[in-house]
């Protein structure tokens, strides 16, 4: 059981919290979207307190960091955590012993997530699931699924939170639109359903975006991928500046496809122009020249992808290929768009072929060899994620043929011996040889290994990888 209970505030503390809320509502510089109007009726006969609080509010909110946070329309849980920290400090020095609880309750009011806002402030929580008034679960990084002691008096209280979320994100929600999908600026995803479709109770599911984005170094360190396989993919994705391969990350639900895709983006040279196409914002591009496109009402993935082709991308990244946009993507590759990256829900390369060539994707089989590599990730029962194999596809007689480049033998990801035919093409295009490519993979492997101990964050990892090209004698230019 995860204990949520945060101590209640006494009357003065509660009024202070409400005053600070009202202050945010009225201050024109703060553009945060707020779920509810301030409660005017609580101030009868409390005028003296109000003027005392006014001074506090003015000095607390003059903190530039707080001003910055509240000048966004939508604030992420990660930022609210910082907010709580600063407000706690500010109130403490003004003599409020219960400062932290006041700050947390204020953050919760501003967030508009009601009681579950508290759960969003805990970095150890990956997911929050409200199944009903008596069923609030979390996925805890260390403990897995745990029920919380949070209980809502009734389904109506959950509905109220959903209403607030819809309001903050400017979404319509009614019997005809019983689903709500929203993304916070930091990538956390919120989904809610109304009793039209979940008759037992309205539900809320929040998948928090991990503030700490996993870099390729994190993935090597935690055993998701070997340095050798990462180096291989580096050469493939960068393509020695001449012939970047088209790569799809495949795997089952929550196997870590998107996480791996994000980590692999660091292998695209930093001067390239990247355009991402997604349903919900999950792909994060560290490059400066980038555009993120998201589907909207009647605008489909396919519409976005077609438009992308007019935006002169060096790279097209498709968050998840799953519908008619697949054909457009393959046509783009057919006319020479290289270095395409994306994810696809499939259990192995043959399964990927099945899915790609049937409804709703309908890619002609003859086009399948345009995707050069499939990187397959798998989630194991202990919760770890590992790349199980890297498979290349090549043009066979009238069809597509697959070859394993990396496979798992006795629990270890190993190169099968051949870098594969696509690497031969890459070598040819880059005017080099298979032998040189092997050497280049080895050099990059050593380069990655040398950086493993540095504990670089996602962005520094990207910078460190790009420094490689500037080193004398290294490929890529």
Q: Which does 255 bind (CB under 5 to 8 A by kind): Mg ion, ligand ATP, none?
A: ligand ATP
Interface with ligand ATP (CB under 6 A), residue from 187, 202, 251, 313:
251
CB of 286: closest distance to ligand ATP in angstroms? 17
- Rounded distance, CA 416 to CA 462, Å? 28
Stretch that binds Mg ion, among 250-258, 283-291, 328-336, 373-381 (CB under 5 A): 250-258
Residue 216 CA: distances (Å) to CA of 221, 257, 266:
9, 13, 8
**Comparison of 173 and 376: residue with beta carbon closer to ligand ATP:** 376
The phi, psi pair for 86, rounded to 5°, reads -65, -45
Burial environment of residue 48 by CB neighbours within 10 A (0 to 12, 13 to 18, 19 or more):
exposed
Question: Is residue 27 helix, strand or coil?
Answer: coil
Is 253 a binder of ligand ATP (CB under 6 A)?
yes
Stretch that binds ligand ATP, among 5-13, 173-181, 216-224, 240-248 (CB under 6 A): 216-224
> How crowded is residue 410: how many other Cβ atoms within 10 Å of its Cβ?
5
Is 210 a binder of ligand ATP (CB under 6 A)?
yes
Site residues for Mg ion, 251-270, by CB under 5 A, read 257-258
Q: Which residues are CB-neighbours of 307 under 8 A, at least 6 positions away?
A: 293
**Comparison of 112 and 256: residue with beta carbon closer to ligand ATP:** 256
- Rounded distance, CA 454 to CA 240, Å? 26
CB of 272: closest distance to ligand ATP in angstroms? 23
- Ranked by CB distance to ligand ATP, the top (closest) residue is 256
CB of 223: closest distance to ligand ATP in angstroms? 8
CB of 475: closest distance to Mg ion in angstroms? 31
Beta strands, E only, 133-246: 135-140, 144-147, 179-183, 189-193, 203-207
User: Measuring CA to CA, which residue among 371, 356, 295 is closest to residue 322?
Assistant: 356
Structure token digits, residue 456? 């670089």
CB of 141: closest distance to ligand ATP in angstroms? 9
CB of 321: closest distance to Mg ion in angstroms? 11
CB of 187: closest distance to ligand ATP in angstroms? 10
Q: Which does 401 bind (CB under 5 to 8 A by kind): Mg ion, ligand ATP, none?
A: none
Angle subtended by helix axes 434-451 and 421-429, to nearest 10: 100
Handedness of CA 262, 265, 270, 271 (dihedral sign): negative
Is 188 a binder of Mg ion (CB under 5 A)?
no
- Residues of this chain that bind ligand ATP (CB under 6 A): 126, 210, 214, 219, 222, 224, 251, 253-259, 385
Which spans of this chain sit near Mg ion (rule: CB under 5 A)? 257-258
């Amino acid at each position: 059981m995860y204990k949520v209970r945060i101590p209640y505030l006494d009357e003065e503390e509660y009024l202070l919290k409400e005053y600070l809320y009202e202050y945010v509502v009225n201050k024109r510089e703060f553009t945060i979207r707020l779920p509810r109007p301030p409660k005017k009726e609580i101030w009868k006969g409390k005028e003296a307190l109000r003027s005392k609080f006014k001074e506090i509010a003015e000095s607390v909110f003059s903190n530039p960091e707080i001003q910055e946070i509240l000048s966004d329309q939508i604030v992420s849980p990660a930022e609210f955590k910082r907010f709580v920290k600063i407000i706690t400090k500010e109130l403490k020095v003004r003599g409020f012993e219960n400062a932290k609880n006041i700050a947390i309750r204020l953050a919760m009011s501003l967030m508009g997530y009601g009681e579950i806002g508290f759960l969003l402030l805990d970095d150890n929580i990956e997911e929050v699931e409200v199944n009903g008034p008596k069923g609030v679960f979390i996925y805890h990084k260390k403990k897995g699924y745990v029920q919380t002691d949070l209980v809502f008096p009734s389904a109506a209280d959950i509905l109220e939170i959903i209403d607030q979320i819809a309001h903050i994100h400017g979404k319509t929600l009614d019997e005809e639109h019983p689903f709500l999908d929203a993304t916070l600026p930091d990538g956390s995803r919120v989904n809610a359903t109304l009793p039209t479709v979940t008759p037992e109770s309205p539900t809320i599911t929040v998948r928090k975006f991990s503030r700490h984005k996993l870099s390729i170094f994190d993935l090597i360190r935690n055993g998701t991928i070997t340095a050798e396989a990462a180096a291989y993919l580096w050469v493939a994705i960068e393509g020695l500046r001449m012939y970047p391969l088209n790569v799809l990350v495949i795997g089952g639900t929550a196997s870590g496809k998107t996480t791996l895709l994000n980590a692999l983006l660091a292998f695209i040279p930093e001067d390239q122009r990247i355009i991402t196409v997604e349903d919900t914002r999950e792909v994060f591009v560290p490059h400066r020249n980038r555009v993120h496109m998201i589907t909207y009402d009647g605008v489909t993935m396919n519409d976005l992808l077609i438009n992308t082709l007019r935006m002169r991308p060096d790279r097209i990244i498709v968050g998840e290929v799953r519908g008619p946009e697949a054909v457009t993507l393959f046509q783009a590759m057919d006319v020479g768009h290289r270095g395409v990256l994306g994810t696809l829900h499939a259990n192995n390369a043959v399964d990927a072929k099945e899915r790609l060539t049937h409804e709703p994707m309908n890619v002609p089989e003859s086009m399948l060899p345009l995707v050069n590599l499939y990187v397959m990730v798998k989630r194991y029962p202990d919760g770890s994620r590992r790349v199980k194999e890297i498979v290349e596809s090549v043009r066979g007689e009238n069809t597509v043929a697959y070859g394993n480049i990396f496979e798992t033998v006795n629990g270890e990801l190993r190169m099968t011996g051949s870098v594969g035919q696509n690497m031969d093409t890459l070598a040819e295009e880059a005017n080099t040889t298979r032998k040189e490519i092997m050497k280049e993979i080895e050099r990059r492997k050593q380069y990655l290994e040398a950086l493993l101990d540095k504990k670089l964050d996602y962005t520094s990892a990207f910078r460190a990888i790009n420094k490689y090209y500037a080193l004398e004698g290294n490929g890529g230019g």
